[in-house]
Structure 1
Amino acid sequence: MGMARVMQREQEKAIRRSRIIEAAEGVFFGTSYIGATMEDIAKAASISKRTLYIYFNSKEQLYFEIMIRGYRQLLSMLEEDLQQMGPGSGAMDKLAGLGRLLYEFSRCSPEYYRAIMEYETAEMDFNQGIEDAAREECYALGEQLNRHLTETLLQGIQEGVLRNDLDVVQTALVLWASLIGVLNTVRLKENYITHIHGVAADELVSSAIELMMQSIRVQERRILDEEEGA
């Protein structure tokens, strides 16, 4: 078989693989991960179940592929946001920006957001039927977000705007979990919060971000004392 023919076949396989993932997205987003079956996905992709298993050995593997797409989109948004801020941006601006960015992601790409967050917060065992490459890439992309958060916390400590007694790893985990909790509450209870309490979703998210920032920020009185003692 000539090289051109081999390359053509590989390209065709890549196209079919991408189409299967897109079909799986439609099934997962239209129903749920729990309710979806490989038969549903095969039908949506207009292929046989046997053919589907040639490309993916489980719906868990497909779910990881979809999360990878979501993480890539979120990281692309983060990179663009940081470029707009500029290289000299302070840690506080970066932290607030990350909170707003995640909220924006939950609004503009709710299906990807839900796929990622339901995996992070659900009691689902994905140890079986997943190729190492898909699982490891998904984990690596998630760690990029965590690394950005921990590095920004370290920057804040160095700038003297964040408390120097913070454990940046634990603080990053707490901030992430807290923000996800707020965003999930907004996603599930927005109408209730707005109509019963008169609080808009973006107001609640902004208030939550500010409260989180206050909990780790060096207090102004302390800053003044340090400046006077210098």
Structure 2
Amino acid sequence: MDRTTRKETISSLHQENILLAAEELFAEKGFAATTMDDIAKSAEYSKRTVYIQFPSKEEIHDRIILKGFMQLKEHILRSLEGEADFFSKYRALCGSLITFYVASPYLFAGIVDFQTQPLGSGDLPQVKREIFNVGEEINAILEVMIRQGITGGVVNPDTRIKETILIYWSSLSSLIIVAHRKSSYISETMGVTKHGLLEYACTLLLRMIAKEEQDGEETASRH
């Protein structure tokens, strides 16, 4: 390993340690209440070292959100592997979003809250460009799935795909967060588990675009 490569490896290790420490702090205290001093102390670095690796707290936050987008993309791709028909892929997609939230609630919420800016938006930082690109890659995966449904005759051919993806994501992602945060209220007032509510939500969203549903598909789960 030459000197340059070794230096880059050490820098990458420092960055990873800082990001992990910051993610824990952001999840525990919130972004606004966390300082660079807090991050440096938690990561066991001097504040100067933290600033060498990242110019600002915002940069650290955006790097964490980028990691979340990349993990979500891989999570979705893995969930769709081996699923042949549109309905199976759709159900796998719903399940993957729910399991991703359970595994990484802070990253999931950060993705939902992130304000995406088009690449032509003035002086856009590189990390925000990367986030935008990964988000578009996720949208492309979902677009392929919907187009396969149209080709297979199970999705309405007049479906406006890009709008549908945005409606689906904003509706289900927000409901996933609410369902987990208000599970007791949902159980007491609706007589349904959070998982049953989310299954029902997936079914309702599917009806927006589906010409027909799988035989025997349940419209809700109340166990």
> In structure 2, which of residues 23, 45, 50 is the aligned counterpart of residue 52 of structure 1?
50
- Find the residue that maps to 1:215 and give its secondary structure: coil
| Structure 1 Cα separation of the partners of residues 3 and 44 of structure 2 | 25
Cα pair 1:179 1:208 within 8 Å, conserved: yes
| Counterpart for residue 177 of structure 1 | 170
1:68-102: CA deviation from partner (whole Å, max 9, x where unpaired): 222222222222222232xxx12222122211110
The letter of the residue matching 2:8 is E
The letter of the residue matching 1:206 is E
The letter of the residue matching 1:95 is Y
Unaligned residue ranges in structure 2 (runs of 5+): 214-223
Q: Decide which structure has greater helix share.
A: 1
| Counterpart for residue 135 of structure 1 | 128
Matches within 5 A, 1:158-169: 158-169=151-162
> In structure 1, which of residues 72, 75, 91 is the aligned counterpart of residue 73 of structure 2?
75
State yes or no: 1:210 paired with 2:208: no
TM-score, length-scaled by structure 2: 0.85
| Structure 1 Cα separation of the partners of residues 108 and 131 of structure 2 | 14
The letter of the residue matching 2:36 is M
Once structures 1 and 2 are overlaid, which stretch shifts more, 61-70 or 73-82? 73-82
The letter of the residue matching 2:91 is A
| Structure 1 Cα separation of the partners of residues 163 and 27 of structure 2 | 32
| Structure 1 Cα separation of the partners of residues 124 and 13 of structure 2 | 21
Select the structure of larger CA radius of gyration. 1
Superposed structure 1 runs of 4+ greater than 6 Å apart: 127-130
CA RMSD, aligned part only? 2.3
Matches within 5 A, 1:1-230: 4-85=2-83, 89-119=84-114, 131-132=125-126, 134-219=127-212
1:52-77: CA deviation from partner (whole Å, max 9, x where unpaired): 11111111111111112222222222
| Structure 1 Cα separation of the partners of residues 192 and 63 of structure 2 | 36
1:31-51: CA deviation from partner (whole Å, max 9, x where unpaired): 111222222111212222222
- Find the residue that maps to 2:82 and give its secondary structure: helix
User: What percent identity do the matched residue pairs reach?
Assistant: 31
Unaligned residue ranges in structure 1 (runs of 5+): 122-126, 221-230
Cα pair 2:176 2:198 within 8 Å, conserved: yes
The letter of the residue matching 2:99 is E
- Find the residue that maps to 2:63 and give its secondary structure: helix
The letter of the residue matching 2:160 is D
Aligned residues: 209
| Structure 1 Cα separation of the partners of residues 145 and 203 of structure 2 | 16
